[in-house]
Amino acid sequence: MLQARDIMTKMVITVTPQTSVLDLARLLAQHKINGTPVVDDDGRLVGVITQTDLIDRAKKFQLPHVVTILDAHFYLERPSTFRKNLEKMLGNQVADVMTAPAITITPELSVDEVATIMAHRNAHTLPVLQDGNLVGVIGKIDIIRALSQEG
């Protein structure tokens, strides 16, 4: 059975939290990748950023839904969620837009377990860590490639 180490990309393109959103968008487009791990100055994983994060940043702004009953206003969204979404939309650096902490996997994980994590956690890019070190990354296209080679 195939494991994460068999399908992961070992030459990982990373960005830092200080990378601009514009530079990130150019990097993703240039390398035709869906996302990338975010590492600090010491190379430690601090998050992940994907095309979905950039799409969320570019979407139309929506005020939280409110229900008014007898002059009382009830917000149907927590203020912290609204603030987080607003900060993400206005952010200019990867740190403002990235998903942290990142969902990570180990090289020994089977491909079907990797696919299950991606599906259940709605994760598009999974950094692969071994002993706390970034050793690879798996994107949805890597799962597709593995499926296409079966049989």
Q: Kind and range of the H or E element at 130?
A: strand 125-130
Tell me the one-letter amino acid at 150. Answer: E
> Which neighbouring-strand residues pair with 3?
110
Instruction: Please tell me the predicted confidence (pLDDT) of residue 14.
Output: 97
Q: Give me the average pLDDT of each 10-residue run along the chain (151 residues).
A: 93 96 94 95 94 75 66 68 65 89 96 95 95 95 87 58
Instruction: Please tell me the predicted confidence (pLDDT) of residue 8.
Output: 96
Q: How far apart are CA 144 and CA 125, in angstroms?
A: 13
Instruction: Please tell me the predicted confidence (pLDDT) of residue 130.
Output: 95
DSSP-derived pairing of the beta strands 35-39 and 45-50: antiparallel
Q: How far is CA 121 from CA 63, 124, 135, in A?
A: 26, 9, 21
Instruction: Please tell me the predicted confidence (pLDDT) of residue 146.
Output: 87
Q: How far is CA 51 from CA 27, 28, 74, 133, in A?
A: 11, 8, 33, 24
